[in-house]
Homo-oligomer: A and B are copies of this chain.
Amino acid sequence: MILTVTLNAALDVTYQVPTLRLGETHRPTAVDVRAGGKGLNVARVLHALGHETMVTGLVGGDTGAAIRADVRVSGLRESLFDMAGPSRRTVTIVSDGTATAVNEPGPPVSISDWADFLGGYHALAARASFVVLSGSLPGNLPDDAYAQLVRATGTPTILDASGGPLLEGLAARPSVVKPNAAELAETTGLSDPVAAARVLLGRGAGAVVASLGADGLVAVTERGSWRVRVPEALSGNPTGAGDACVAALAAGHALDWPTRLAEAVAVSAAAVPCPLAGDIDQATYARLRPAITVEELDAHANR
């Protein structure tokens, strides 16, 4: 079982409107409401790939009840913990091919709710083969919250975070971190992704897999470094692609690195045509997977 953690789960509300005009009132042509947050998107992809998953995190209020209900409707097993505050919403208005969004920050997590979660997490992670820690932290949790979760278990863990939670998390030695190009540059001040990934590897990660959008990914690990390219240009939803990449890295934790990385690029590319994060297009996966090539970088420097 792969455990995915979503500390700042959201009720994602998506409206389609023909044309969004500032200052006007619109009647949506479609309304989609689903449980969201990066960890939940990762769980959906894992489920679509046929992996046994367990969803955990903190939910509260009417929005939390709606998140819990949607997780179950989606066929995902959940062990979500109750918190006192109401779960946040995100509202996205899709119009003329562009998405305009308002993301609520979410409620503060009380000390007792966090303590209850930590106790439950410890037991869940002990039963998992792999743990996914993904997405933003509720505003009042300290930057080392993910570091606490990495240290609380001996189960291998991937961390997909940015800023302080990523930097603090590295010190706890997660198996993998998956920054994107912007997060890598922001965290290290370096524009070259391979050099930047080496810096993060030096700070404690077992492996750094940097997702570079249309440029595929680079991976710097204790066992070697690789670059994997996307064989064709795709347009669509980049948020979903990052979560799909994390899902594939988690799903492939027992594979050798080149195969694991090729899977990650194929699954990630298969998310791009899907409008909603968490979905993947199996036909795109099947078409691209055989065409993906993995190039080893600078083998001597890394061994």
Contacts and interface: CB of A to CB of B under 8 A. Distances in A.
Contacts of A210: none
A28 to B, nearest CB: 6
Nearest to A29: B105
Interface string A1-37: 0000000000001010100111111111001000000
Interface stretch (A77-85, A91-99, A173-181, A211-219): A91-99
A102 B15 contact: yes
Contact of A28 (B26, B28, B104): B104
A89 interface: yes
B105 A20 contact: no
A104 B62 contact: no
B26 A104 contact: no
A27 to B, nearest CB: 6
A282 interface: no
A101 B13 contact: no
A288 interface: no
Nearest to A63: B62
A195 interface: no
Contact of A23 (B61, B100, B102, B103): B100
A89 B13 contact: yes
A65 interface: yes
A69 interface: yes
Interface in A43-74: 61-63, 65-66, 69
B22 A22 contact: yes
Contacts of A21: 100
Contacts of A101: 24-26
B31 A104 contact: yes
Contacts of A69: 62
Listed residue (A24, A65, A91, A103) with the most chain B CB atoms within 10 angstroms of its CB: A91
A279 to B, nearest CB: 20
Nearest to A97: B23
Nearest to A23: B98
A37 to B, nearest CB: 15
A41 to B, nearest CB: 16
A24 B100 contact: yes
Given A13-B91, A69-B62, A99 B23 contact: yes
Contacts of A91: 13, 15, 91, 102
Given A62-B65, A62-B69, A91-B91, 7 more contacts: A13-B91, A15-B91, A20-B22, A21-B100, A23-B98, A26-B102, A27-B103
14 contacts: A13-B89, A17-B102, A20-B100, A21-B100, A22-B95, A22-B98, A23-B99, A23-B100, A24-B100, A25-B101, A28-B104, A31-B104, A62-B62, A91-B102
Interface of A: 13, 15, 17, 20-28, 31, 61-63, 65-66, 69, 89, 91, 93, 95, 98-105
